[in-house]
C-alpha cells in the first residue's frame, strides 16, 4: 500500500478493503499520522493528534477483523472529532484558552457510538472558539486554513473538521452546526456535510452554544461515506432532552435510486439574492444536472425567510450568553476578540425579542411544511460567497458591502431555525479554484432522500466537468 492509494480511497472503499483484509488498519493509521505531521502545520486542522491511542485502536481493530469479528463498516476507519465533543481522558479545548487543558471525565454519546462501531479516533479538530462564529479563524490555537488556498478561510465553526477531511488527514469527521457550522466549511473546502434533523443525533456530551439550535453531524468526501457515518451516529438518547426516538435507520438505502419524478423546489427569493455570480452560476448548473436526471424543477415562494436571520440572531444571542455570562464577566481577557465582541452584543438581547424569535421560528416551520407538500427537496447555494481571506471582516456582494459573518451565515440559518435536515454537496469551483457548495434541504427526518438526490448529482458530476478532486495543496505534498 502507498500513501497515494490511501489518499484517494473513500471511507466506504477503505471499509471494504479493511473488511476483506486487503489493507491493515494499522498501516492506514501510520500513513495518516505521517501525513498529518506533514500537512497539519499548513492547514492547522488538528488541535490534538492522538498518535498512541490511534495506533492502539487500529491494532485492536486489526486483531478483531483478522479473527473474523468485524463490527461494521466503520471498523478500523480513522475519524476526527470537532474539539467541542467530549472525549474521556483526552483534552477538549473548545478552541479556547479557557479550556486549553480541560480533560472530560466522559465520552459524548456520539463518541461512544463511534467506539462501539470500531472507528479509530485520530484527533481533535480545530474549531472557532466555542463554535461562536462562521469564519473558522478565531481559535486560541490559530485559524484553520483552507487546503485549496491557505490564505483563505475554511469557514466555521467546524473549521478543522472541514480542513482535515478535505486534506486527506482522516476519512470522516464530526462537526456541529448551530447556524451553518457543518455546511459552511463543507462548502468552503469542497466536501460533503450533513446537518441532520434537530434531535436526530444526540448532543449529550457536546459543549453547547445554543441549546435549541445545536446539531451534530458528519463531514466526509462522498455522499455514501456521509450516510454511513450518520447511520452510526443517529438514534435516541435519554441524556439529550431533544432526542427523537425513531429507532435505527440505514441512511444509505436510497443511494443509487433514480431521482426521476422527484420535485426539486427552487426558491424565487432570498436564497439567490446577494449571491456571488460564480456561486450562482455553479449552483444553477447543478440544478440543471438534476433536471437532466429526470427531476422536476419547480419555483417556490417562502416569504417568511426575510425574518429568519432575526429569529436566528435573537435565539442564539440569548442562549449563548446564558451559557457564557459567568465566564464573560470573570475572564473576558481570555476570549478571542471576535467571540467576546459577539458575546457582549448577545448580552443586549431582550426577553421579548427571544419570544418574538420563537414565534418566527414556528411561522418558518409552517411555511416550509407548506412547501414540502408540493416538493421533495429544496435546492439552493450553501454559502452565497466564495471563501474570504483569513481575518477579512467585510465583503462586497450583490451590489452592497456586508459583514463576512452575515454573508457566510445567511443561507444556512433557515435550516437551523426550523430544524430541517440540510446537506451541502460540492458542485464545482470558482475561476480561482475555490470550492462551491449546493445545499439540499428536506422535510423533517428525510435525510435518506437528501442523500438519494445528492448521490445522483455526485455520480453525474463525477463524470462531467464538475468533477472535484484532491486539493492542490495535498497533490503537491
Grid look-up 431521482 returns: 259
C-alpha to C-alpha distances, 304 to 7, 274, 430, nearest whole angstrom: 44, 17, 31
Kindly tell me if the per-residue pLDDT of 5 is higher than 90: no
Q: How many domains does the chain have?
A: 1
**Per-residue pLDDT tens over the stretch 367-392:** 999 999 999 999 999 999 999 999 99
Name the residue range of residue 215's domain. Answer: 3-476
The reported pLDDT for the residue numbered 377 is: 98
How many Å apart are CA 205 and CA 9, to the nearest integer? 31
Determine which one of 15, 24, 157, 446 is catalytic.
157
| Percentage of residues in the chain having pLDDT higher than 90 | 94
**Alpha carbon distance 169, 81 (integer Å):** 12
**Which pLDDT value is given to residue 468?**
39
Q: What pLDDT shows up at residue 7?
A: 75
The model's pLDDT over 15-67, given as tens digits with 9 standing for 90+, comes to 999 999 999 999 999 999 999 999 999 999 999 999 999 999 999 999 999 99
Contact 83, 94 (CB under 8 A): yes
pLDDT band at 247 (very low <50, low <70, confident <90, very high): confident
pLDDT of 144-155, one tens digit each?
A: 999 999 999 999
Condensed to tens digits (0 to 9), the pLDDT of residues 340-367 reads: 999 999 999 999 999 999 999 999 999 9
At 263-298, the pLDDT tens digits run 999 999 999 999 999 999 999 999 999 999 999 999
Find cell 452584543 and name the residue.
345
pLDDT at 253 over 80: yes
Per the structure block, which three cell numbers stand in for 178? Answer: 448551530
Annotation says 159 is catalytic: no
pLDDT at 4: 60
Of 174, 180, 178, 172, residue with least CA distance to 153: 180
Instruction: Look up the CATH number of the domain holding residue 129.
Output: 3.90.1300.10
Which residues does 324 contact at the CB level (< 8 Å), separation at least 6? 130, 343, 346
157 catalytic residue (yes or no)? yes
DSSP E strand boundaries for 190-259? 192-195, 215-220
Half-sphere exposure for 272 (CA within 13 Å, toward CB): 20
Asked about 161 being catalytic, the answer comes back as: no
Annotated catalytic residue: which of 15, 181, 222, 231?
Answer: 181
- The grid coordinates listed for 414 are 433557515
The Cα–Cα gap between 322 and 79 comes to 32
Question: Distance between CA atoms of 61 and 77, rounded to whole angstroms?
Answer: 9
Instruction: Name the strand (E) or helix (H) holding 337.
Output: helix 337-346
Query: CA separation (Å) from 416 to 25, 59, 194, 294, 353?
Result: 36, 39, 12, 29, 18
Residue of 24, 82, 203, 262 with catalytic role: 82
User: Which residues contact residue 358 at a Cβ distance below 8 angstroms, ignoring those fewer than 6 apart?
Assistant: 311, 315
d(CA 424, CA 430): 17
Say which residue the cell 472557532 belongs to. Answer: 128
Predicted confidence (pLDDT) at residue 2 exceeds the cutoff of 90: no
Phi and psi for 12 in degrees, rounded to 5? -65, -40
Amino acid at each position: 500500500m502507498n500513501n497515494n492509494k490511501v489518499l484517494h480511497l473513500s471511507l466506504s472503499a477503505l471499509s471494504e478493503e479493511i473488511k476483506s483484509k486487503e489493507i491493515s488498519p494499522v498501516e492506514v493509521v501510520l500513513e495518516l499520522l505521517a501525513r498529518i505531521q506533514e500537512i497539519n502545520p499548513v492547514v492547522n486542522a488538528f488541535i490534538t493528534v492522538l498518535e498512541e491511542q490511534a495506533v492502539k485502536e487500529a491494532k485492536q481493530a486489526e486483531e478483531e477483523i483478522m479473527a473474523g469479528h468485524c463490527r461494521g463498516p466503520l471498523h478500523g476507519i480513522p475519524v476526527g472529532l470537532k474539539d467541542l465533543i467530549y472525549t474521556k481522558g483526552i483534552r477538549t479545548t473548545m478552541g479556547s484558552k479557557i479550556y486549553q487543558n480541560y480533560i472530560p471525565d466522559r465520552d459524548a454519546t456520539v463518541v461512544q457510538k463511534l467506539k462501539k462501531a470500531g472507528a479509530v479516533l485520530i484527533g481533535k479538530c480545530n474549531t472557532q472558539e466555542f463554535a461562536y462564529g462562521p469564519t473558522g479563524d478565531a481559535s486560541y490555537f490559530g485559524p484553520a486554513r483552507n487546503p485549496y488556498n491557505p490564505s483563505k478561510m475554511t469557514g466555521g465553526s467546524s473549521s478543522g473538521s472541514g480542513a482535515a477531511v478535505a486534506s486527506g488527514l482522516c476519512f470522516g469527521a464530526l462537526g456541529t452546526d448551530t447556524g451553518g457550522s457543518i455546511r459552511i466549511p463543507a462548502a468552503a473546502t469542497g466536501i460533503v456535510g450533513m446537518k441532520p434533523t434537530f434531535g436526530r443525533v444526540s448532543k449529550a456530551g457536546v459543549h453547547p452554544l445554543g441549546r435549541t439550535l445545536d446539531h451534530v453531524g458528519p463531514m466526509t468526501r462522498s455522499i455514501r461515506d456521509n450516510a454511513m457515518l450518520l447511520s452510526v451516529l443517529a438514534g435516541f438518547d435519554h441524556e439529550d432532552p431533544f432526542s427523537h426516538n425513531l429507532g435505527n435507520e440505514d441512511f444509505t438505502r436510497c443511494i443509487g435510486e433514480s431521482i426521476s419524478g422527484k420535485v426539486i423546489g427552487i426558491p424565487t427569493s432570498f436564497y439567490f439574492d446577494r449571491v456571488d455570480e460564480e456561486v450562482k452560476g455553479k449552483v444553477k448548473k447543478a440544478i440543471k444536472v438534476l433536471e437532466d436526471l429526470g427531476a422536476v424543477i419547480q419555483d417556490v415562494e417562502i416569504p417568511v425567510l426575510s425574518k429568519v436571520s432575526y429569529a436566528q440572531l435573537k435565539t442564539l444571542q440569548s442562549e449563548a450568553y446564558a451559557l457564557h455570562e459567568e465566564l464573560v464577566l470573570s475572564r473576558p481577557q481570555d476570549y478571542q476578540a471576535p467571540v467576546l465582541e459577539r458575546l457582549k452584543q448577545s448580552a443586549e438581547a431582550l426577553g421579548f425579542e427571544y419570544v418574538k424569535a420563537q414565534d418566527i421560528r414556528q411561522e418558518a416551520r409552517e411555511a416550509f411544511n407548506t412547501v414540502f407538500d408540493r416538493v421533495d427537496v429544496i435546492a439552493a447555494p450553501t454559502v452565497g460567497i466564495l471563501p474570504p481571506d483569513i481575518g477579512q471582516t467585510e465583503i462586497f456582494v450583490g451590489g452592497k458591502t456586508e459583514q463576512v459573518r452575515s454573508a457566510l451565515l445567511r443561507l444556512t440559518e433557515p435550516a437551523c431555525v426550523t430544524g430541517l435536515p440540510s446537506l451541502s454537496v460540492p458542485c464545482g469551483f470558482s475561476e480561482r479554484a475555490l470550492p462551491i457548495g449546493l445545499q439540499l434541504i428536506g422535510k423533517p427526518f428525510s435525510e435518506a432522500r437528501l442523500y438519494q438526490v445528492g448521490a445522483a448529482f455526485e455520480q453525474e458530476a463525477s463524470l462531467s466537468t464538475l468533477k472535484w478532486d484532491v486539493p492542490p495543496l495535498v497533490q503537491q505534498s
